[in-house]
């Protein structure tokens, strides 16, 4: 990573002239030109290397540029780049087999999409056709993607500008003890009240009108919210009682992030549909999908499934998924995520909380953690207001800048920083990241009132 000012200037100029970036006021951003990446690091054209504690958008579970995955993509590109979804293809079939073998219960059929939002779109469509019912329920504090149904199911401000097509979406509050909607003081109370609230909402909506409930197994972008013991099993029971399809969205939580293949494994729960993307191949080539239960798959045995995509099961994407899953299994990468979480990140983050008054709560598992930053631990007032921008967001902006100054690339959302390195992160890298966070948190502490 030698400095290369000329290359930097060229990338910057072309980007600014022609690239329209996601979720941004185009005139208020200045995207950092990146020259390369490997393992847990990426680097810019000025010679700065960053420890990637964001895994980009929480997708590079196997790290950057894993040589076995790169080789598999190169080999597949030389052999067969693309083929219509109607054909049977070796890598597509093998990817489906490897995924189905790991998904919980009888989720044995795989419909491939290009990414997470499309997986959610298709899961919802399957549920609606399977049940013949119109409505889908989703939680506040959630993210399900940026296409039509997925964004309308989303329970965070990214939905607001797209709130035009919410027909059939019913939202409810999920459990989150630290900021309890139910005035609960214990996990058991939170769980019981959240389940009662969900069931009451269903009764008032009309159970016979509800096709599906969609939940992130562990809520990701909206805060790494761990469901209390019994909650997901309770939702499963409610779905069974009313004939509602249970969809678990594992786009972010799946494929090793929690130290298990799927977050559902941590809670011993089997949904009817499970959506995945990101970690399935670390995003080296866009890929997502839906794992489908036997009962829902049977609905489409004699009746066509009304949906498809030109690139469903794209050979390059599937070859990269096969290589990713096999490599994760061979190299014990899921086990590494579990061990780093239990031995390094969990204890290390709790230790930071003892010294930094801005840390209100530490929560997570594996390589999937959040620090909930507060102005005041007693009142739990968030360090910045909900959906803050500009001057209101200054404390978080200062914290993020301090991380980058330490050579750490953080994942920051509202008043939280998520600690989400690759599942391949080493103990030494995780400790380096913790040390950088320790320094950067001083910037957040400076805004506490306690």
Where does this chain bind ligand PLP (CB under 6 A)?
A: 57, 115-117, 120, 143-145, 216, 220-221, 249, 251-252, 277, 288
Please say which residue, 59 or 406, places its beta carbon nearer to ligand PLP. 59
The set of residues, in sequence order, having a beta carbon less than 8 Å from that of 294 and lying 6+ positions away, is: 106, 108
| Residue nearest ligand PLP, Cβ-based | 116
Shortest Cβ 116–ligand PLP spacing (Å): 2
**Residue 155 or 220: which CB sits closer to ligand PLP?**
220
User: 117: phi > 0 → left, psi -120 to 50 → alpha, else beta; which?
Assistant: alpha
CB of 56 to ligand PLP, least distance (A): 10
Measured between alpha carbons, how far is 418 from 348 in angstroms, rounded to an integer? Answer: 14
Task: Give Cα separations from 44 to 12, 172, 190, 407, 410 (angstroms).
Answer: 11, 43, 45, 11, 15
Is beta strand 41-44 parallel, antiparallel or unpaired with respect to 49-52? antiparallel
**Minimal distance, residue 144 CB to ligand PLP, in Å:** 5
d(CA 409, CA 39): 14
* Beta carbon nearer to ligand PLP, 141 or 375: 141
Query: Based on CB atoms, which residue is closest to ligand PLP, 24 or 209?
Result: 24
Q: Is 102 helix (H, G, I), strand (E, B) or coil?
A: helix
Picking from 447, 445, 382, 443, the residue whose alpha carbon sits closest to that of residue 413 is 382
Cα–Cα separations (whole angstroms), residue 330 to 72, 105, 364: 15, 23, 25
d(CA 448, CA 357): 7
Q: Which is nearer to ligand PLP, 50 or 411 (CB)?
A: 411
Shortest distance, position 118 Cβ to ligand PLP, whole Å: 7
Beta carbon of residue 290, minimum distance to ligand PLP (angstroms, whole number): 12
By the 8 A CB rule, do 285 and 73 touch? yes
DSSP secondary structure letter of residue 9: H
We find the least distance from the C-beta atom of residue 111 to ligand PLP, in angstroms, to be 15
Identity of the residue, 92 or 141, whose beta carbon is nearer to ligand PLP in the bound complex: 141
Q: Which is nearer to ligand PLP, 45 or 267 (CB)?
A: 267
Q: DSSP character for 391?
A: G
211 phi/psi in degrees, rounded to 5: -80, -45
- The CB-side HSE value for 148 (13 A sphere, CA atoms) comes to 8
In the complex with ligand PLP, the residue whose CB is nearer, 219 or 425, is 219
Q: Give least dist CB 414 to ligand PLP, A.
A: 15
Task: For ligand PLP, give the closer residue by CB, 57 or 100.
Answer: 57
Min. distance of Cβ 259 from ligand PLP in angstroms? 18
Instruction: Report the C-alpha gap between 234 and 248 in whole angstroms.
Output: 14
Strand partners, 181: none
If we measure between CA atoms, which residue out of 273, 272, 252 comes closest to residue 263?
252
CB of 150 to ligand PLP, least distance (A): 6
């Amino acid at each position: 990573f030698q400095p290369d000012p000329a290359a930097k200037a060229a990338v910057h100029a072309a980007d600014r002239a022609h690239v329209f970036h996601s979720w941004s006021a185009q005139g208020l951003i200045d995207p950092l030109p990146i020259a390369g990446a490997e393992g847990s690091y990426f680097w810019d054209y000025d010679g700065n290397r960053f420890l990637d504690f964001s895994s980009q958008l929480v997708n590079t579970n196997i790290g950057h540029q894993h040589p076995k995955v790169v080789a598999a993509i190169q080999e597949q590109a030389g052999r067969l780049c693309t083929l219509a979804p109607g054909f049977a293809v070796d890598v597509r079939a093998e990817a489906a087999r490897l995924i189905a073998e790991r998904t919980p219960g009888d989720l044995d059929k795989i419909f491939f999409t290009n990414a997470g939002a499309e997986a959610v779109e298709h899961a919802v469509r399957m549920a609606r056709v399977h049940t013949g019912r119109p409505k889908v329920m989703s939680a506040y504090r959630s993210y399900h993607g940026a296409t039509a149904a997925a964004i309308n199911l989303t329970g965070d401000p990214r939905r607001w500008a797209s709130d035009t097509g919410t027909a059939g979406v019913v939202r409810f509050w999920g459990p989150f003890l630290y900021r309890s909607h139910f005035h609960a003081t214990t996990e058991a109370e939170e769980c019981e009240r959240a389940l009662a609230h969900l069931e009451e909402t269903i009764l008032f909506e009309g159970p016979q009108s509800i096709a599906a409930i969609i939940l992130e197994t562990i809520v990701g972008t909206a805060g790494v919210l761990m469901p209390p013991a019994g909650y997901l099993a309770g939702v499963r029971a409610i779905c069974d009682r009313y004939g509602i399809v249970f969809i678990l969205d594992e786009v972010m939580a799946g494929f090793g992030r929690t130290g298990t293949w799927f977050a559902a494994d941590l809670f011993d729960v089997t949904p009817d549909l499970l959506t995945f993307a990101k970690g399935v191949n670390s995003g080296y080539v866009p890929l997502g999908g839906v794992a489908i239960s036997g009962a829902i798959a049977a609905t489409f045995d004699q009746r066509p499934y009304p949906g498809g995509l030109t690139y469903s099961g794209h050979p390059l994407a599937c070859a990269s998924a096969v290589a990713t899953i096999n490599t994760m299994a061979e190299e014990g990468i899921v086990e590494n995520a579990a061990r780093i979480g239990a031995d390094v990140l969990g204890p290390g983050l709790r230790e930071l909380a003892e010294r930094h008054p801005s840390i209100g709560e530490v929560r997570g598992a594996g390589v999937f953690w959040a620090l909930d930053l507060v102005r005041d631990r007693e009142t739990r007032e968030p360090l910045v207001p909900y959906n803050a921008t500009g001057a209101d967001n200054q404390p978080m902006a200062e914290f993020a800048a301090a991380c980058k100054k330490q050579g750490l690339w953080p994942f920051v959302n509202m008043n939280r920083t998520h600690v989400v390195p690759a599942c391949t992160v080493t103990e030494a890298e995780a400790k380096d990241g913790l040390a950088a966070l320790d320094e950067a948190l001083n910037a957040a502490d400076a805004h506490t009132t306690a």
